[in-house]
Structure 1
Amino acid sequence: MVGDRPASTERLRRQNAALVLRSLRRLGPATRAELAQRTGLAKATVGVIVAGLEAAGAVTEEESRSGARGRPGRPVALSGERWVGVGLELNVDYVAAVVVDLAGGVVHHEVRPVEGGRTGHERALLGLAEAVRDRCRAAGQVSVGATVAVPALVRGDNRTVAWAPNLALEGPDLADRVADLLGTPVRVGNDANCAAYAEARHGAAAGVRHALYLTGTVGIGAGIVDRGELVRGGAGFAGEVGHMPVGDPTARCGCGRVGCWEASVGLHAMLAAVGMPELATPLETAAAVAQRAATDAEVRAALGRVGEAVGLGLAMLAGVLDPEVVVLGGYFVPLGDLVLEPARRTLDARLASAAQVRPELRLSTLGIEAAALGAAEQAFADVLAGDVDLTAGT
């Protein structure tokens, strides 16, 4: 049923095909009989769906499994040859791109630094998008869509930037410009949400039921994952933690107020604390700080104070959200225990009850491209929901 109306035959066919694709994506290759068992569809229906997907270049047959009794079935697997999703990230000091195929493999990734203010951001993002488009076309790959990750509040239409305190962005213009360039549907998503989505599928939160991802760039945001899916809240703005009033009450934030958490733990705040300059990307910057900290006690002490401020904010979030795991990304990764150990100590001291379990703090395993990777994964959302039909042209 769709609302109060019966689903059309066409829609039902798309939904069943999406069910098969989701099964292959989550559980791996399977014979037609196994797919019928997994999905609850009739074997004949699965056969028709697989034939259509194979003609569209979405699936391929593998060699028969050895040791099978009777006539062995040929497993069906997702194909990484044709269909791809494009993920882009626009951040304060860099842009990134990741291209993911239908099987979940990364076929291209790239990061470029940004200079030149707002126009520099736009030029860098559009230039990177154009390069990705040309690369995909040359490889014979077809994009099902693209997602642009931004450090901003994004409305529930997944296109409209509502508030971007560290970037001069507003409205649906960014989605429109990228869509015109790529010639494909484009979503816009919060960068922390995109990174959390990637960590839940490819990284440090894989297999975790309740997780929180914390960005570590100029801005600080959070992505909340429950059973593998994002928690976005009523207006889609959940996770805007960087502006919680738990930071230094005298520190001015990029949003114009004082006392925001990111004004104490964001990349620029960390650099001000250690007295070092910013390099091309947050990871390069933090790696240089970590190297200095190995021989400079004052830098280590300053990072300890940053870690305490991180722990203070996480204690508040842990009390509200009760995550099993908190994944720290961005500049936090090269600093590692220089920040995590004081954060853990502060968390222990701030949890209200011994009955509470301190969430496990983990470092991201996906690097600076985590948000772009999650954005690329989200580009397949309409396909895996049955709203886009890969077999339409076959």
Structure 2
Amino acid sequence: MPTPTGVGTDELRRANLRAILQTVHTRGPTTRAVLTRQLGLNRSTIGALTGELQSLGLVSEETSAVGGRSGRPSHLVVPREDNVVVAVDVGVDRIAVALVGLGGEVLDRRDRRHQRGEHDVAHVVDAVAQMVEDILAGAGHRVRCLGVGVAVPGAVRAADGFVRFAPNLGWVEEPFTDLLAARLDRPVATGNDADLGALAEHVRGVAIGYSEAVYLSASVGIGGGFLMAGRPLAGARGYAGEVGHMQVDSQGPVCRCGAVGCWETKVGENVLLRLAGRLPGGGPPAIAEVIEAARAGEQRAADAVAEVAEWCGVGLRGIVNLFDPEIVVLGGCLAQVWKAAEATVNEAMARSTMMPRDDVLIRAAQFGVDSPLIGAAELAFAPVLDHPQAVPNAS
């Protein structure tokens, strides 16, 4: 890595520590030789830097022959999994909590179902705090907790995690992050679930290596997370990505936001269930049942899947024309419908997409419904990855 002009020795050392830790966190155990080539530093400097990360308790070193060959052993720099974060996904019908080690491995997981609808923020804070405390208690004194990351289905202020609007939870102007941090007495970072889904797929999923990526997921509503030039597109106040409320049908139904013909009135879970003659609120299992019924020849189910797939393609067409991504990653109901009716989605996209359809990859999210949960872990790790020397001593 070239030395930036005007950067002092201490700043350069911190930048190199950050680069090494981020590399082993995202790529796993890495040899000193690879780090030397990647960062453009000599072996003694890499040795000193990895030694400092060892003294901070963030990595360990193992010695082994490369590929089992005899000769000079390789020094492998390994992220220490006893440095953990707790990731939380506050979904519309469940709370998921995961204990994630440095390096990205999920070490433990807990899920709690709840009814869809409005939820008092204090009750959610209590439930999340109890689940976080339980999962940490299960790990005992073997771990050092670096923080808590939370995904919320709503507009979250980037600066402080203040939840401005989460309609599927019934929240308006709620200090959820501050309440949870006070209850846990730990650092808590909160982000929009779609933004964190995009982060997860970019760092560890199907969007690795793509700098222009879009992540879209649908359940009751539709959320979008965008990466432009490899960086999250947050907007002026951190609320970018509300693609569910772009108009796709000027003659369509009135949305809960008050506008007419929003995309989520055409492709949400409950839309598909209603068109197929099913009761609302069944979530992914109910969507899967409709798709199976369509494949088995049930005409109403087949018509429902085809109609939602058509509108899925219409919305994707607008997003592709506007953002020109290399890859679009689909989660939730969108992924289920795309897998079932890919040709219909593609045909609707192709009608007025400015670039050839083959130039845009469409993929289902690698982590399925857990993309926001994995992204929440990355959000919680971010402060230590950015400033390894600031790692806390307490668990």
> TM-score if structure 2 supplies the norm length?
0.86
Preserved CA contact (<8 Å) 1:304 1:338: no
Deviates more, 1:84-93 or 1:302-311: 84-93
Alignment match, 1:94: 94
Instruction: Give the letter for the 1:123 counterpart.
Output: H
Q: Secondary structure at the match of 1:84?
A: strand
Q: Does 1:35 align with 2:35?
A: yes
Alignment match, 2:376: 375
Alignment match, 1:60: 60
Measured after TM superposition, the shift of residue 247 of structure 1 is 3.8
Of 179, 182, 186, the match for 1:177: 179
Preserved CA contact (<8 Å) 1:197 1:228: no
Measured after TM superposition, the shift of residue 392 of structure 1 is 5.6
CA separation of 1:347/1:12 partners in 2, compared to 1, >3 Å: closer, same or farther?
same
What are the within-5 Å matches in structure 2 for residues 301-316 of structure 1? Answer: 301-316=303-318
- Hey, what's the Cα distance between the residues in 1 that align with 2:128 and 2:247? 36
CA separation of 1:146/1:291 partners in 2, compared to 1, >3 Å: closer, same or farther?
same
- Hey, what's the Cα distance between the residues in 1 that align with 2:350 and 2:34? 47
Q: Does 1:255 align with 2:257?
A: yes
Of 143, 163, 166, the match for 1:164: 166
Preserved CA contact (<8 Å) 1:88 1:129: no
- Hey, what's the Cα distance between the residues in 1 that align with 2:264 and 2:383? 34
Instruction: Give the letter for the 1:135 counterpart.
Output: I
Alignment match, 2:219: 217
Q: Secondary structure at the match of 1:245?
A: coil
Instruction: Give the letter for the 1:244 counterpart.
Output: M
- Hey, what's the Cα distance between the residues in 1 that align with 2:332 and 2:150? 18
Gaps of 5+ in 1: none
Alignment match, 2:3: none
CA deviation string 1:108-157 (max 9, x = no partner): 23433222743467535642442233322431322212222112222230
Q: Which protein, 1 or 2, shows the higher relative CO under an 8 Å CA cutoff with sep ≥ 6?
A: 1
Larger strand proportion of the pair = 2
Identity rate, percent = 33
- Hey, what's the Cα distance between the residues in 2 that align with 1:136 and 1:53? 24
Measured after TM superposition, the shift of residue 84 of structure 1 is 1.3
Alignment match, 2:343: 341
What are the within-5 Å matches in structure 2 for residues 198-209 of structure 1? Answer: 198-209=200-211
What are the within-5 Å matches in structure 2 for residues 1-394 of structure 1? Answer: 9=10, 14-32=14-32, 34-41=34-41, 43-66=43-66, 71-80=72-81, 82-115=82-115, 117-119=117-119, 123-124=123-124, 126-139=126-139, 140-171=142-173, 173-226=175-228, 228-247=230-249, 249-278=251-280, 282-293=283-294, 294-352=296-354, 357=358, 359-386=360-387, 389-390=390-391
Instruction: Give the letter for the 2:290 counterpart.
Output: V
Preserved CA contact (<8 Å) 1:55 1:391: no
Preserved CA contact (<8 Å) 1:263 1:269: yes
Q: How big is the alpha-carbon RMSD for the aligned residues of Structure 1 and Structure 2?
A: 3.0
Preserved CA contact (<8 Å) 1:224 1:230: yes
Deviates more, 1:318-327 or 1:18-27: 18-27
CA deviation string 1:171-228 (max 9, x = no partner): 4511012212332211121111111111122322223332211112111011112455
Deviates more, 1:28-37 or 1:292-301: 28-37
Instruction: Give the letter for the 2:187 counterpart.
Output: P
Q: Secondary structure at the match of 1:291?
A: helix
- Hey, what's the Cα distance between the residues in 2 that align with 1:328 and 1:180? 35
Measured after TM superposition, the shift of residue 306 of structure 1 is 0.8
Preserved CA contact (<8 Å) 1:197 1:229: no
Gaps of 5+ in 2: 1-5
- Hey, what's the Cα distance between the residues in 2 that align with 1:341 and 1:112? 36
CA separation of 1:257/1:114 partners in 2, compared to 1, >3 Å: closer, same or farther?
farther
Q: Secondary structure at the match of 2:118?
A: helix
Preserved CA contact (<8 Å) 2:215 2:224: yes
Instruction: Give the letter for the 2:360 counterpart.
Output: P
Deviates more, 1:97-106 or 1:31-40: 31-40
Measured after TM superposition, the shift of residue 379 of structure 1 is 0.9
Q: Secondary structure at the match of 1:74?
A: strand
- Hey, what's the Cα distance between the residues in 1 that align with 2:183 and 2:297? 48
Preserved CA contact (<8 Å) 2:27 2:103: no
Instruction: Give the letter for the 1:389 counterpart.
Output: A
Q: Secondary structure at the match of 1:301?
A: helix
CA deviation string 1:13-40 (max 9, x = no partner): 5444222201223444344454344334
CA deviation string 1:58-107 (max 9, x = no partner): 21122322577865342221121x11122212232222223321111111
Instruction: Give the letter for the 1:390 counterpart.
Output: V
- Hey, what's the Cα distance between the residues in 2 that align with 1:191 and 1:325? 19
CA deviation string 1:330-368 (max 9, x = no partner): 123344433433211101112246x56552222222122
- Hey, what's the Cα distance between the residues in 1 that align with 2:191 and 2:126? 17
Deviates more, 1:66-75 or 1:286-295: 66-75
Q: Secondary structure at the match of 1:115?
A: coil
> TM-score if structure 1 supplies the norm length?
0.87
